[in-house]
Structure 1
Amino acid sequence: MSISKTKDLLGQLAQLERTVSEFSFDELSADDAKILKGSFNTFRASLENHIYKPKKGAVVSHAIKASNDENQEISQKQFIAHISHEIRTPLNSIIGFANLLNDEKLTSGQHKKVDAIQFASNTLLKLINEVLDYSKISSGVSNFETVDFNLHSLLKDVMFLCETLIVDRKIELLVEIDDNVPKIIKGDPSKLSQVLLNLLGNSVKFVEQGFIKLEVFSKASYDNHCVLEFSVADTGIGIAKEKIDTIFKRYTQAEANTSSKYGGTGLGLTITKEIIEKLKGDIEIDSTIDSGTTVTFRLPYTIGKNIGFSKISKKPYKNLKGQHLLAGAEIMVFEDNQMNSLLIVEQLTKWGCKVHANVSLTEGLEILGSSNVDLILMDLKMPNQNGFEVSKIIRTHENNKIKSTPIVAFSADFTEKDSIECKTIGINDFLLKPYSLNDLMTTILKNKKSKVELEDFSSILQKPMIKPKETTVVDLNHLLKDCFGEIDMLNELVKLFKLNAIEFIGNVTIHLKTDNLKEIALSAHKLKAGFAMIKADGMRKLIVDIEASCKANKVEKVKELYEVFLIDYPVLEENLTAELTVMNKK
C-alpha cells in the first residue's frame, strides 16, 4: 500500500475513532458503549496488522493485552460502584439514627458524641461519593446536560456555600465578574458548580488567613458562542513547582502528609480535570510555596436566552416546622432492609404519619385499593423484590386509585439508566440515600396526593440549615426574668440598647478618621455590657476584641473588626426585634 493511501486511511481511522467515542459518550448506555468500543478496537487492531505487516502475532498480542487491560479496568469500576452501594446502605441507617438520637433529651456529653458520629458519617459519605463520582466520570457513565442557566446566580450560590465553610479564620472571600461575561449561558450548571466548589473548597482547606478570589472573564466571543475563563486565586500553602505536573493524577496529593493533615482522597483535582476535559476545556495551575495558588480553567459555552428563570432563591432550609402538614398522611414503604425500614417508619411516625411497612406486593396492592395512601416510598434495589418491577405493576394496575398513587424511589446509587427507567415507568421523584430529614420531608410534601399549597409550603421554609452566625444570636429570656416578667420594662431596655448601639457606630465612624483609638475603646467598653444584657455573647466577644485592639494600638485590626460589626449588627438587630415581637404577642 502506498504511503499517501496509508496516511489517508489512518487519518480516516483516527476520525472514525473520535466519532465512535463521541457517539458512545453522548448516545449510549455504559454497557452498549463498552461493546461498541470493544468491537472497534478489534477492527482497528486487525486493520493496523494488515497495514504494517508486523512479525506474526505482535499486533494481535498487543490488541489482546489492550483489551484485557480495558476489561480489567471496567471490572474495577463496576466493583467500585457495587461496593459504594453496599457501603451507602448501612451508612444511611447510621446517619438516620444519629439524626433521631440528636432530637432526644441527651446530656451535653451525649450530644457531643452524637455530633462526632454525624461528622464521621458525613465525612465517610463524602469520600464514598468522591470515589464513585470519579469512577462514573472516567468511565463515561456520568451524565452531562445542556440547558440555559443564569451564570451570575450560580456564582452567587457557589460563593454563598463557600462562605459557610470558612469558620474562625480571617479569610476574605472575593468575586469579580467582568462586564462582558454573559448572564445566561447554555451548558451543564451542575458540573460547573462541582468544578468551582472543588477548587474553592481546596482553597478554603489550605488557606489559614488572607484571601480567596474568584474571577470570571470572557476571553472570546463569536457567533453566539463564548469562551469563559475562570480563575481561583488564594494565599494558601502553595504547591512546589515539581509537584504541579503530578497534582492531577488520581489518588495523588502534593505532599505525603496532606491527606492526614487536611483529609480527602486525592481525587478532587482529578475529577475537576476530567469534567473540564469532557466539557472541551482546559485547566492549568500556577503556584508558589507559602505564597499561594492560582488555578485557571477555560470552558466554551453558547450564549443562552434570558427566559424562563425562576426568581425564587433555592437555598438550603430545614423545614421541620412543616410537621403539622404531614400529620395524618398515609405512607406506604417498600424497603427490605430491616434497619432502614425501622428507621424510616420511626421518622414518619414521629411526624404523625400512618405508615404501612414490611408489606409484600400482594398486601401492598390490597392496602392501596382499600385505603387512602398519599404516597409510596419505593427502594429500587431490594434483594427480595425488584423496586422497578413493583412500581411497574402498580402503574399498570386496572384500579385507577392504585395506579395513580405517587411513587418516590430511593436508593443508595442512581445511574442515568435508572433515571430513564423511572421516567418510563412513571415514578414521580427520587431520593438518594443517605438523605436528610429535610430532603425526606420536602420530597413527601411535594409529591403526596393532597398537595401542600405553595403559600403553606413556603411559610414552613423558615429556619436555615446553616446555623446562624455567632455574632447575630440573641436571647431575651434572661433579661425578661430580670424585668420580673414585665414586658414594658423589657421594651424600654431594648430601646435603650439600640440607641447605645447607634451612638457607638457614630463615635467609631468619627474617631476612626483621626485614629483616636482611646475614644473608640471607651465606646466599646460602654456597649459590651449591653450585649451581655441581651445574651449576645458572640457580638460581645467581637466588641471585647475591638476594645483590646484599641488598647494594643492596632489600627488596622480595629478597622477590620469594625467592618465585621457593621455587617453583622443589622442582622442581630433584626433577630432582636423579631424575638421581642414574639414576646409582646404572648
Structure 2
Amino acid sequence: MSISKTKDLLGQLSQLESTVSAFSFEELNADQANELKSSFNSFRTSLEKHIYTPNMDEIVANKMEVTATNQQDISEKQFITQVSHEIRTPLNSIIGFANLLKEEKLTKGQHKKVDAIQFASNTLLKLINEVLDYAKISSGNSKFESVDFNLHSLLKDVMFLCETLVLDRKIELLIEIDENVPKIITGDPSKLSQILLNLLGNSVKFVERGFIKLEVFTKQRNDNAFLLEFSVADTGIGIPKEKMDTIFNGYIQAADDTCKKYGGTGLGLTITKEIINKLKGNIEIDSTVSKGTTVRFRLPYLQGNIATLPNKSIKKAKHNFKTELLAGTEILVFEDNKMNECLIVEQLTKWGCTVHVDTDLDKGLYVLSTKKIDLILMDLKMPGQNGFEVSRAIRSHKNAKVNSVPIIAFSADFTQQDSEKCKEIGINDFLLKPYTLEDLQTTLLKNKENKIEQTEFLSILQKPMIEPKETTVVDLNLLLKDCFGEIDMLSQLVKLFKINAIEFIGNVKIHLKSGNLKEIGLSAHKLKAGFAMIKAEGMRKLIVELEHSCKANELEKVKELYEVFLNDYPLLEDNLSKELEIMKKK
C-alpha cells in the first residue's frame, strides 16, 4: 500500500478515535463506554498491525518461483483482502452501536457526537470499500453479470442521485439521449451505474458553477448488437496536460492539494477504467485547465427483451410492517465476535425476535432439534469450525427439522469462490458487514420460513390507514442536522422557503397570462431545491415535471401541474408548520 494511502487511513483513524473518546467520556455510562472503546481498540490494533508489521512469511514461502514484481502484486492483493476483513468486522460494531445509540433519547449534543461517529465511520468504510473494490477487479475476482435492463431508467436514476449532490451550487445537470439509443439492453447494469456515478461524481466534486452534461449515442449497430458511447462533460477545474498520462493510475490525483481539498482515494478513475476494460470497452479524456473536462467511454451491448424485466409493481413493505412481521421469529446466531454478537442480539430483540446465541456446532444442532427455529445467521469466518463447515453439517443432518432451516451467511468480505461455496452447501442468502438495519430486516423477511402465510402478510399491508398524499409529505430531520440541531436556524430556513413558494405562485400567475414559459421554468428551477431541502420528494417531482414541461413548451401541461400545486401546497405548508412545532417542543 502506498505511503499516501497509509497516511489517509491513519488520518481517518485518528479523527475517529478522537470523536469516539470524547463521546464515551462525556455522554455514556461506564458499560456503554467500555463496549464502544473495546470495539474501537480492536479495530485500531488490527489496522496498525497490518500497516506496520504485516506477516509476509506464508506468501514468500508459497510463491518462491514467482518473480519479485509478481510477488509484490500477490502480497498486496492478499494484504488488502485480509485487512479488509479485519477492519470491517470491528467497524461493523462501531457503526451498529452508533445506530442503536441514535434510537435512544439523546440530547442535542449527544446527537451531534453520534452523527460525528457515524460520519467518520462511514467515511472510513467508503475508503476501505473502494480499495477492496480495486483489488477485486484488478485480480479478476469481481463478479460481472449479463441481464436485461432498462437503460433509460438507469440513466434517469443516476442523474437523480447526482441532482441531490448539487442542490446548494449553481450547477446545471443536463442529459441528452440520442433517439437511436435502445431502451432495453443486455449487460451489467450495476457496473454501468458504478462507472457513471464515478464519472459524474468526479464532475460534481470539481465543478463549482456551470454545467455537467451526460450524453449517450449509438456509435455502431449490427443487427442486435450495439456499441454505445457515453460522454460526461463539465465546466470544472480541468486536468493539467502533464497529469493526463497518469490520471488512470492507482492513488494518483491531478495535484497534490486535490486530495486535501476534495478528499477521496484517487482510485475512482482507476476502478472505472478496470471495469470498462473487463466489459471490452475503452475510455478517453479531454481536458483543459480552468475550462473543463470531457470523459468518453464506449461499451458493447446486445438488444434486450422487455418481457424478462422484473415486475416492480408490488410495493415494498414499510419499516413498521417489517418489524411487525418479524415479531416472534426465533433465530439461531453463530458469531464468534462478542461485540458483534451483542450488537445483533440487541438489534433482533428490539424487533421482537427470540435469539439463541451459540458458536458451538453440537449445541447449535441441539437448539435446532429442540426449538422451532425460523432462521440461522451464520458468520462464515469463525475460527476453528468456520461457517461453511457448520452450514455443511446442518445441511447434511438427518432430521428434516434441522437441515431445512434457511441459513443467512454474513461476513466482512465475500469472494466469488465464497458465493459458489454457499450455493454448493445450500446457504440461502448473504449479508456483507457492515450492513444497515434495513438490509438486515429485509433479508430476514425474505428468507423467513413460511411461518407467516401470504394472506397474513397481505392483511397487515391492507390495514385501513390515512395515508398522506405524496405531494404533501415533508421531513425536516435531515435539515435539522444540517442546522447543527439549532431550531432557530431551522425556523429561519423554513420561513425563507415559504417566502420563495409565495414568490413562485406570484411569478407563475403573472407569466401564465402572457404564456412566458421560460420565466415559469426558471421560477420552478429555483424552487425545486427548496423542496429537496425539506425532503418534500413528491412535490419536488411535480416541480421538476413542471420545469420540463416549460422547456418542452407544453402550456396546457404546465397549467394542469400548476393547478395540482395550488391545491396541494397549502396542505404541505400546513404539515411543514406542524412538524416544525413538534421539533420546537422536544
TM-score by length of 2: 0.70
Q: Give 5+ residue unaligned stretches, structure 2.
A: 1-58, 481-498, 524-529, 537-557, 580-586
Shift of 1:472: 12
1:142 aligns with 2:142: yes
1:421 aligns with 2:421: yes
Structure possessing the higher radius of gyration over alpha carbons? 1
Give the AA of the match of 2:265.
T
Q: Deviations over 1:500-551 (max 9, x none)?
A: 8996365343588799x9xxx9xxxxxxxxx9xxxx9899xxxxxxxxxxxx
- Asked whether the equivalents of residues 170 and 209 of structure 2 are also in contact (C-alpha less than 8 Å), the reply is yes
Shift of 1:173: 1.9
Cα 1:129–1:318, aligned 2, differ >3 Å: closer, same or farther?
farther
Shift of 1:194: 0.9
Shift of 1:468: 5.8
Q: Which residue of 1 aligns with 2:442?
A: 442
Q: Which residue of 2 aligns with 1:212?
A: 212
Cα separation, 2, equivalents of 1:578 and 1:455: 29
Q: Within 5 A, what are the aligned runs for 1:38-49?
A: none
- Asked whether the equivalents of residues 474 and 534 of structure 2 are also in contact (C-alpha less than 8 Å), the reply is no
1:507 aligns with 2:509: yes
Q: Deviations over 1:155-197 (max 9, x none)?
A: 1222222223334223222221111111122221111111111
- Asked whether the equivalents of residues 332 and 358 of structure 2 are also in contact (C-alpha less than 8 Å), the reply is no
- Asked whether the equivalents of residues 336 and 359 of structure 2 are also in contact (C-alpha less than 8 Å), the reply is no
Q: Deviations over 1:463-486 (max 9, x none)?
A: 99xx96769999xxxxxxxxxxxx
Q: Within 5 A, what are the aligned runs for 1:171-186?
A: 171-186=171-186
Q: Deviations over 1:229-262 (max 9, x none)?
A: 0011112222122222211111000010111111
Q: Give 5+ residue unaligned stretches, structure 1.
A: 1-33, 39-63, 475-496, 522-530, 540-561
Cα separation, 2, equivalents of 1:150 and 1:256: 40
Where 2:431 maps in the other structure, the secondary structure is strand
Where 2:181 maps in the other structure, the secondary structure is coil
Q: Within 5 A, what are the aligned runs for 1:248-259?
A: 248-259=248-259
1:234 aligns with 2:234: yes
Cα 1:254–1:386, aligned 2, differ >3 Å: closer, same or farther?
same
Shift of 1:322: 2.5
Q: Which residue of 2 aligns with 1:327?
A: 327
Shift of 1:95: 0.5
Where 1:384 maps in the other structure, the secondary structure is coil
Shift of 1:569: 8.2
Shift of 1:66: 6.9
1:96 aligns with 2:85: no
Cα 1:507–1:410, aligned 2, differ >3 Å: closer, same or farther?
same
Where 2:298 maps in the other structure, the secondary structure is strand
Give the AA of the match of 1:330.
E
Shift of 1:581: 13
Cα separation, 1, equivalents of 2:199 and 2:362: 51
Q: Deviations over 1:394-437 (max 9, x none)?
A: 11111111111111100000000000011111111110000000
Cα 1:178–1:375, aligned 2, differ >3 Å: closer, same or farther?
same
Cα separation, 1, equivalents of 2:204 and 2:299: 23
- Asked whether the equivalents of residues 225 and 301 of structure 1 are also in contact (C-alpha less than 8 Å), the reply is yes
Q: Which residue of 1 aligns with 2:410?
A: 410
Cα separation, 2, equivalents of 1:317 and 1:273: 38
Moved more, 142-151 or 423-432: 142-151
Where 1:110 maps in the other structure, the secondary structure is helix
Q: Which residue of 2 aligns with 1:288?
A: 288
Give the AA of the match of 1:358.
D
Cα separation, 2, equivalents of 1:242 and 1:369: 68
Q: Which residue of 1 aligns with 2:195?
A: 195
- Asked whether the equivalents of residues 239 and 254 of structure 2 are also in contact (C-alpha less than 8 Å), the reply is yes
- Asked whether the equivalents of residues 475 and 534 of structure 2 are also in contact (C-alpha less than 8 Å), the reply is no
Q: Which residue of 1 aligns with 2:223?
A: 223
Give the AA of the match of 2:154.
L
Shift of 1:147: 2.0
Cα separation, 2, equivalents of 1:469 and 1:326: 27
Q: Which residue of 2 aligns with 1:387?
A: 387
Cα separation, 2, equivalents of 1:391 and 1:321: 30
Where 2:179 maps in the other structure, the secondary structure is coil
Give the AA of the match of 2:509.
N
Cα separation, 1, equivalents of 2:164 and 2:476: 12
RMSD over aligned Cα atoms: 4.0
Cα 1:224–1:447, aligned 2, differ >3 Å: closer, same or farther?
same
- Asked whether the equivalents of residues 151 and 184 of structure 1 are also in contact (C-alpha less than 8 Å), the reply is yes
Cα separation, 1, equivalents of 2:352 and 2:365: 23
Q: Which residue of 1 aligns with 2:358?
A: 358
Where 1:231 maps in the other structure, the secondary structure is strand
Count of matched residue pairs: 456
Q: Which residue of 1 aligns with 2:374?
A: 374
Give the AA of the match of 2:506.
F
Cα separation, 1, equivalents of 2:295 and 2:167: 23
Q: Which residue of 1 aligns with 2:304?
A: 304
Q: Which residue of 2 aligns with 1:122?
A: 122
TM-score by length of 1: 0.70
Cα separation, 1, equivalents of 2:304 and 2:369: 48
Moved more, 277-286 or 320-329: 320-329
Cα 1:106–1:252, aligned 2, differ >3 Å: closer, same or farther?
same
Cα 1:388–1:570, aligned 2, differ >3 Å: closer, same or farther?
farther
Cα separation, 1, equivalents of 2:318 and 2:165: 18
- Asked whether the equivalents of residues 472 and 572 of structure 1 are also in contact (C-alpha less than 8 Å), the reply is no
1:78 aligns with 2:58: no
Cα 1:139–1:317, aligned 2, differ >3 Å: closer, same or farther?
farther
Cα 1:514–1:278, aligned 2, differ >3 Å: closer, same or farther?
closer
Give the AA of the match of 2:245.
D
Cα separation, 1, equivalents of 2:316 and 2:198: 19
Cα 1:69–1:267, aligned 2, differ >3 Å: closer, same or farther?
same
Cα separation, 1, equivalents of 2:116 and 2:70: 41
- Asked whether the equivalents of residues 474 and 535 of structure 2 are also in contact (C-alpha less than 8 Å), the reply is no
Cα separation, 1, equivalents of 2:460 and 2:157: 22
Q: Which residue of 1 aligns with 2:344?
A: 344
